[in-house]
Amino acid sequence: MSLSRRSVLVGGATVSMTATLGACGREPGVDERSPAMDASTAEVRRGRLAFRPPEQPRAATGRTGTFAMSGGGGAPPAELHVPALDGREPLRLVVMLHGAGGVARSALDRLRGAADAHRLLVLAPKSTSTTWDVIGGGYGPDVRNLDRLLAEVAAAYPLRGFTIGGFSDGASYALSLGIGNGDVFDSVIAFSPGFQAAGTMNGRPEFFVSHGTADRVLPIDRCSRRIVPALEEAGYDVTYHEFDGGHVVPEPVRDEAVAWLDAR
- State the average pLDDT over residues 242-259: 97
- State the average pLDDT over residues 71-98: 88
Assign 38 a pLDDT band (cuts: 50, 70, 90). Answer: low
Enumerate residues 6+ apart whose C-beta is below 8 A from 114: 120, 254, 255, 258
Give the pLDDT confidence score for residue 35 in this predicted structure: 43
Cα separation of 198 and 39, whole Å? 18
**Could you write out the DSSP letters of every residue in 16-80?**
-GGGGTTTTS-----PPP-TTS-HHHHHHHTT-------SSPPPP-S--EEEEEPPSTTPPPEEE
- State the average pLDDT over residues 213-235: 98
Give the pLDDT confidence score for residue 230 in this predicted structure: 97
Give the pLDDT confidence score for residue 264 in this predicted structure: 85
Cα separation of 216 and 68, whole Å? 33
- State the average pLDDT over residues 101-122: 94
Mean pLDDT (the chain, rounded): 87
Q: pLDDT for 153-173, tens place per residue?
A: 999 999 999 999 999 999 999
Give the pLDDT confidence score for residue 75 in this predicted structure: 84
Q: Say if residue 184's pLDDT is above 50.
A: yes
Q: Say if residue 37's pLDDT is above 70.
A: no
Question: 2-8+40-49+83-262 maps to which CATH number?
Answer: 3.40.50.1820
- State the average pLDDT over residues 116-132: 95
Q: Name the residue with higher pLDDT: 171 or 75.
A: 171
Assign 114 a pLDDT band (cuts: 50, 70, 90). Answer: very high
Pairing assessment for the beta strands 159-167 and 187-191 based on DSSP bridges:
parallel
